[in-house]
């Protein structure tokens, strides 16, 4: 029996999972780490926490599986995207905390890029927008604000990387500086049409090319782990940003197939095949995955707050004890109250792109309580997804299948209430697979594919298994009335800047 181990380095926790060659989960270890909010709108992680939780969950997962590192055929890595670290190539120490994808500190600079006309260039080359979400402006911020950083960067002393790159560097004992094309595609520095770092964008953002890692396919040789770390030298042979790994794990290999992952945020990706579809509806064009040097593209809708709004009910408002309490509360909510939560806690992502907007609750009465607020929270996930789907359908009118079944995954899909509301408000079936850990499965699959352990994509796709299909039951008039109320709530929440 061959085994694979996948690292899923997420926004709030790190998970490691041992899989057998049939991609069944044998063991899972998970560890949370601190979030740092040094100023309003800033979000940071300590890069050392990301590495140490990776190391300890790898060891814990192996121990739970009662296996040794030497029993593993390969490691796959998947990670929170865009979050970026800059470090010294000799000491291996980060020169500043990791700046997280949710961080808004470069909002003013992004506004400048819009005003001076650079956004069109960014969009045309990277498929992204001038938004603090992406790594490029955050790296520029580090080089401009950490004392001596710019001089060190220009002297070739520094390296940068998204979290896959940071972990590869650590696992290989500083020998390999590499990333995969999906992670590269989120930096705002990578030309998704040529598959290369882009000199013009590097110049625009004042980032020396010496900082950049080598870009590889998602299934490729990313180096061998230092044997001192896990007790054996293991090949790292699969890497993809978490949303791209989920596309693979959900076997969305055909153009027209779509997955939506509900974790901290929600990210819907529609496979558009070999064709990069230019969005006219405020979506992103990105890579779905890159295999054998061939790029497969996707349209992406990115929502910054999904499950994180449920966490806010638990940790901020303290009206629930655990996430699953929202189910009973939503069921008990007064049907005559129409409450909307616009969870713009860190601004609004697609399709609004309003970094300065902040969250709001509408329709409160003296009878509004935890039940109505919980229901509004679960509903906000459905409304935001409908915003994305409408934009995707408008953008991909040329595609063969524009109305497609949505494959969902991620922690929040445990909520049957939220999934039924999603199907209702989309007026489209929602498929929840048996394996909800699509992200880690995708990373393990990519590593196994490179090792010749896992089957080709067509065969792997046949093994995808349904847990439950949610079909719409809401009547059309109610659906449209509720959605119109949502659009109005969003309109009232937008900042004047957008
Ligand atoms: N039963 C549930 N109902 C509603 N939300 C849930 C439920 N279970 C988990 N969640 C939410 O799902 C998120 C965790 O999903 P996960 O995929 O682990 O996220 P991430 O990888 O972004 O850390 C949390 O934000 C949590 O609030
Ligand atoms: O860590 P997650 O699962 O919330 O995913 C984060 C995304 O990759 C950000 O783009």
Q: Which ligand is nearest to the CA of 375?
A: 1
Ligand 1 centre distance from Cα of residue 310 (Å) = 8
Q: What is the model's pLDDT at position 465?
A: 87
When pLDDT is cut at 50, 70 and 90, the band that residue 403 belongs to is low
Q: Environment class of residue 181 by beta-carbon count within 10 Å: exposed (0-12), middle (13-18) or buried (19+)?
A: buried
C-alpha torsion sign, points 186, 189, 191, 195: negative
pLDDT, mean of residues 184-193: 97
Q: How far apart are CA 410 and CA 261, in angstroms?
A: 5
Judge whether 433 and 250 are in contact, CB under 8 Å: yes
Give the residue whose CA is nearest to atom 5 of ligand 1.
412
Which residues, 6 or more positions from 487, have their beta carbon under 8 angstroms from its beta carbon?
none
Judge whether 358 and 345 are in contact, CB under 8 Å: yes
Extract the annotated binding site for glycerol.
Answer: 81-82, 133, 242-243
Q: Which ligand is nearest to the CA of 243?
A: 2
How many residues are given for the chain? 498
Whether the per-residue pLDDT at 397 is higher than 90: the answer is no
Judge whether 486 and 340 are in contact, CB under 8 Å: yes
Most confident option among 31-35, 354-358, 377-381: 377-381
State the DSSP string of 396-447.
Answer: TTTSS-SS-PEEEESGGGG-HHHHHHHHHHHTS-EEEES---HHHHHHHHHH
Whether the per-residue pLDDT at 428 is higher than 60: the answer is yes
Judge whether 349 and 265 are in contact, CB under 8 Å: yes
Q: Which ligand is nearest to the CA of 316?
A: 1
Ligand 2 centre distance from Cα of residue 418 (Å) = 19
Tell me the CATH architecture of domain 3-242. 2-Layer Sandwich (3.30)
Ligand 2 site, CB within 6 A = 10-11, 80-82, 101, 241-243, 263-265
Which atom of ligand 2 is nearest the CA belonging to 12?
A: 1
Task: Give the pLDDT confidence of 103-137 residue by residue, as tens digits.
Answer: 999 999 999 999 999 999 999 999 999 999 999 99
Q: What is the model's pLDDT at position 473?
A: 96
Whether the per-residue pLDDT at 247 is higher than 90: the answer is yes
Whether the per-residue pLDDT at 144 is higher than 80: the answer is yes
Q: How far apart are CA 421 and CA 388, in angstroms?
A: 16
Alpha helix positions (H), 297-369 = 307-311, 325-332
Q: What is the model's pLDDT at position 256?
A: 85
Per DSSP (E only), the strands in 46-83 are: 72-79
Task: Give the pLDDT confidence of 434-493 residue by residue, as tens digits.
Answer: 888 899 999 999 999 999 999 999 999 998 889 999 999 999 999 999 999 999 999 999
Q: What is the model's pLDDT at position 497?
A: 56
Q: How far apart are CA 168 and CA 181, in angstroms?
A: 15
Whether the per-residue pLDDT at 402 is higher than 60: the answer is no
Question: Which of 35, 45, 80 should be mutated for ligand 2, with most atoms under 8 A from CB?
Answer: 80
Strands 430-433 and 406-409: parallel
Hey, is 18 helix, strand or coil?
A: strand
Task: Give the pLDDT confidence of 67-99 residue by residue, as tens digits.
Answer: 999 999 999 999 999 999 999 999 999 999 999
pTM listed for this prediction: 0.91
Q: What is the model's pLDDT at position 297?
A: 96
Ligand 1 centre distance from Cα of residue 412 (Å) = 4
Give the residue whose CA is nearest to atom 5 of ligand 2.
80
Task: Give the pLDDT confidence of 213-240 residue by residue, as tens digits.
Answer: 999 999 999 999 999 999 999 999 999 9
| ipTM computed for the complex | 0.96
Q: Which residues pair with 169 in a beta bridge?
A: none
Q: How far apart are CA 333 and CA 341, in angstroms?
A: 14
Task: Give the pLDDT confidence of 36-51 residue by residue, as tens digits.
Answer: 999 988 999 999 999 9
Extract the annotated binding site for ADP.
Answer: 11, 15, 264, 307, 411
Can you read off the two tokens belonging to residue 414? 């445990």
Judge whether 441 and 435 are in contact, CB under 8 Å: yes
Q: What is the mean pLDDT of the chain?
A: 94
When pLDDT is cut at 50, 70 and 90, the band that residue 273 belongs to is very high
Q: What is the model's pLDDT at position 1?
A: 81
Whether the per-residue pLDDT at 399 is higher than 80: the answer is no
Whether the per-residue pLDDT at 400 is higher than 70: the answer is no
Q: What is the model's pLDDT at position 308?
A: 92
Q: What is the model's pLDDT at position 498?
A: 57
Ligand 2 centre distance from Cα of residue 152 (Å) = 30
Q: How far apart are CA 259 and CA 465, in angstroms?
A: 14
Q: Is the peptide bond before 270 cis (omega within 30 degrees of 0)?
A: no
């Amino acid at each position: 029996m061959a085994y694979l181990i996948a690292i899923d380095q997420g926004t709030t926790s790190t998970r490691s999972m041992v899989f057998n060659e049939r991609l069944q989960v044998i063991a899972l270890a998970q560890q949370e780490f601190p979030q740092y909010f040094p100023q309003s709108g800033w979000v940071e992680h300590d890069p050392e926490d990301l590495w140490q939780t990776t190391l300890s969950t790898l060891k814990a997962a192996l121990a739970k599986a009662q296996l040794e590192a030497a029993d593993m055929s390969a490691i796959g890595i998947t990670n929170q995207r865009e979050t970026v670290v800059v470090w010294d190539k000799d000491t291996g120490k980060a020169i500043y905390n990791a700046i997280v994808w949710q961080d808004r500190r470069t909002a003013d600079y992004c506004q400048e890029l819009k005003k001076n006309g650079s956004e069109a260039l960014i969009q045309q080359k990277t498929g992204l927008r001038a938004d603090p979400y992406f790594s490029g402006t955050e790296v520029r911020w580090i080089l401009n604000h950490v004392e001596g950083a710019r001089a060190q960067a220009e002297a070739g002393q520094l390296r940068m990387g998204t979290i896959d790159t940071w972990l590869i560097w650590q696992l290989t004992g500083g020998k390999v500086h590499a990333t995969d094309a999906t992670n590269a595609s989120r930096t705002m520095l990578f030309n998704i049409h040529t598959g290369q770092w882009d000199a013009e964008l590097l110049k625009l953002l004042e980032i020396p090319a010496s900082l950049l890692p080598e870009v590889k396919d998602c299934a490729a040789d990313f180096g061998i782990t230092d044997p001192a770390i896990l007790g054996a030298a293991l090949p790292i042979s699969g890497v993809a940003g978490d949303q791209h790994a989920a596309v693979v794990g959900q076997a969305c290999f055909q153009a027209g197939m779509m997955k939506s992952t509900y974790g901290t945020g929600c990210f819907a990706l529609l496979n558009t095949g070999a064709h990069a579809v230019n969005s006219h509806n405020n979506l992103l064009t990105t890579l779905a995955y890159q295999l054998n040097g061939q790029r497969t593209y996707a349209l992406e809708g990115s929502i910054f707050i999904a499950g994180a709004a449920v966490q806010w009910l638990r940790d901020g408002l303290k009206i629930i004890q655990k996430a699953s309490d929202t189910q009973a509360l939503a069921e008990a909510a007064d049907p005559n109250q129409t409450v909307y939560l616009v969870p713009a806690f860190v601004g609004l992502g697609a399709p609004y792109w309003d970094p300065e907007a902040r969250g709001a609750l509408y329709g409160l009465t003296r009878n509004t309580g935890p039940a109505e607020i919980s229901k509004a929270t679960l509903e906000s996930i459905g409304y935001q997804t409908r915003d994305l789907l409408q934009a995707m359908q408008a953008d991909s009118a040329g595609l063969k299948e524009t109305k497609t079944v949505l494959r969902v995954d991620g922690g929040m899909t445990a909520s049957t209430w939220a999934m039924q509301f999603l199907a209702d408000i989309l007026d489209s079936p929602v498929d929840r697979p048996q394996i909800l850990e699509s992200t880690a499965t995708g990373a393990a699959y990519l590593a196994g594919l490179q090792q010749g352990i896992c089957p080709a994509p067509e065969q792997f796709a046949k093994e995808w298994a349904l847990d439950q299909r949610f079909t719409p039951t809401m009547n059309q008039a109610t659906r449209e009335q509720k959605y119109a109320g949502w659009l109005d709530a969003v309109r009232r929440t937008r900042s004047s800047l957008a």
